[in-house]
Structure 1
Amino acid sequence: MITLYSYPELFGVADNNGYGLKVFAFLRLAGMPFAHRHVFDASAAPRKQLPYIVDDDETIGDSETIIAHLIAKHRLALDDGLTAAQRDMRHLVTRLLDDLYWVMSYSRWKDDAFWPSFRDALLREHPSLTEEGLRKAQDFNAQRYYYQGIGRYEPEAAYARGTADLQVLANLLSASDYVFGNSPTSVDAAIYGFIANILFYPIDTPLRQFVVAHPDLVRHCTVMHAAVGSTARPG
């Protein structure tokens, strides 16, 4: 039995972190039965990072490593039809999403224009959290952003970087519902993990403004929402 450990939901999205939602969506698309355990404490996770899975007696962290493990061990066919060039594109998209992650996280924890709305939503939906605890998490994230680099950007420059990433995704999705045709693959799960965590949050960041203004991004997210069985609706 597979158990997915990831951050809790927010605004009806199954995980308020893009990487955990990516694994959730992949498992749903692949038709794999799994238990989903929502946690805030990552101390038991490999590298102290969420998400991770426990698959029988194996514990695996990192979303890409998790997906590679699941495909190999359970002979999942979701990506079987991909060409070598498509697999290269999938790799490039996952790296682009790594960049988008930092801007999306910055918009929640760093930007004073949006932090209060994000904090209040967490406190409202997860009563076990405290304002003091969230402030400590904010301080921790501020250190991460500084050393990664995005924390040294002014908001306008940070969002310009994020919307450039989103424009590339919008271009990729302009021809069909999914990246590589009429059927979803793991790259669609990856994109959904991040776009859903922008679109379905009623916090009007520049990232959300961009997504809402691009029908191809909205269409992909909505189609994926239905495919993975989520119940969230745009705010």
Structure 2
Amino acid sequence: MITLYSYPELFGVADNNGYGLKVYAFLRLTGVPFVHQHIFDASAAPRGQLPYIDDDGETVGDSETIIAYLSHKYGLTIDSGLSLAQHHTDHLITRMLDDLYWVMSYSRWQDENYWPAFRDALLTQHPSLTEDSLRSAQEFNAMRYYYQGIGRYAPAEAYARGLADLQVLADVVPPVGYLHGPAPTTVDAAIYGFVANIFFYPIDTPLRQFVAAHANLVRHCAAIHAAVGSAVLPDEPMAGRSIAR
């Protein structure tokens, strides 16, 4: 049996990290049986990063490596009808989502306009967490952002990068169906992993404002959300204010 280890859910989203949610959605879309274990401590994970899977003793980390491993071992055909050009498009979108990840994470942990709402949501839904532990995590993430580069940007500059990524998605995601036709493929799971972690969070960042203003992104996100067994609708945005606890 496959066990997926990833970060816990938040706001009705099965994983509050885009990479873990991508793998979760991929597993659900392909129908591969698995157990989902939510954890905060990534110290036991390969390279100390979530998500990872344990497949009857075989440990695999990194979302792309996990998907490639599962596709090969279990003969999954979700992408079998794609052309070489479509595979190349998927590769480019996947790398762009890596860029979007940093801006999305920055909006939660570094931007003081939205950090209090994100912190309070975690504390409300996951009582095992403490304000001190989250402050330590915030400080750790600030160091990551600085060395990656996004932490050296002013908020408006950081969001400009993320909005440029989202504009590409808004231009390529169709108004009906999925990226490559009437059935979802792996890239749709990847797009969902990140867009859902923006749209379903009632924290009114510039990223969420953009997604909410584009009907094709909302429809695509909601369609995958339903396909993977989730039915929670987003709450009204909180415009950066803290959630009462």
Q: Is the 8 A contact 2:175 2:219 kept in 1?
A: no
User: Matches of 2:123 and 2:222 in 1, distance apart?
Assistant: 27
Q: How many residues align?
A: 235
- CA RMSD, aligned part only? 0.6
CA contact (8 A) 1:8 1:38 kept: yes
Q: Counterparts of 2:205 and 2:177 in 1: how far apart (Å)?
A: 25
* CA deviation string 1:170-213 (max 9, x = no partner): 11113532100101000000000000000000000000000000
Once the two structures are aligned, what percentage of the paired residues are identical?
Answer: 72
Which residue number corresponds to residue 202 of structure 1? 202
Query: What TM-score do the two structures reach when normalised by structure 1?
Result: 0.99
Given residue 85 of structure 1, which amino acid in structure 2 is its aligned partner?
A
- Counterpart contact for 1:28–1:228, Cα < 8 Å: yes
Displacement over 3 Å in runs of 4+ = none
Instruction: Report the counterpart of residue 160 of structure 1 in structure 2.
Output: 160
2:149: which partner in 1? 149
Partner of 2:28: 28
Q: Which amino acid aligns with 2:216?
A: D
Structure 2 CA distance, aligned partners of 1:51 and 1:174?
A: 29
Equivalent residue, structure 2, for 1:49: 49
In structure 2, what is the equivalent of residue 59 of structure 1? Answer: 59
How far 1:230 sits from its partner (Å)?
1.1
1:78 aligns with 2:64: no
Decide whether the 8 Å contact of 1:192 with 1:221 is kept in 2. yes
Matches for 1:131-146 after TM superposition, within 5 Å: 131-146=131-146
Question: Residues 89-168 of structure 1 correspond to what in structure 2 (within 5 A)?
Answer: 89-168=89-168
**Aligned partners of 2:133 and 2:231: how far apart in 1?**
29
> 1:67-121, CA deviations, whole angstroms, 9 ceiling, x for partnerless residues?
0000000000101001000000000000000000000000000000000000000
CA distance in 2, matches of 1:57, 1:161: 40
* Runs of 5+ unmatched residues, structure 1: none
Question: 1:12: which partner in 2?
Answer: 12
Map of 1:211 onto structure 2:
211
Question: Unpaired segments of 5 or more residues in structure 2?
Answer: 236-245
TM-score, with length taken from structure 2: 0.95
Paired residue secondary structure (1:127): coil
Do the aligned partners of 1:177 and 1:219 also contact (CA within 8 Å) in 2? no
- 1:57 deviates by 1.9
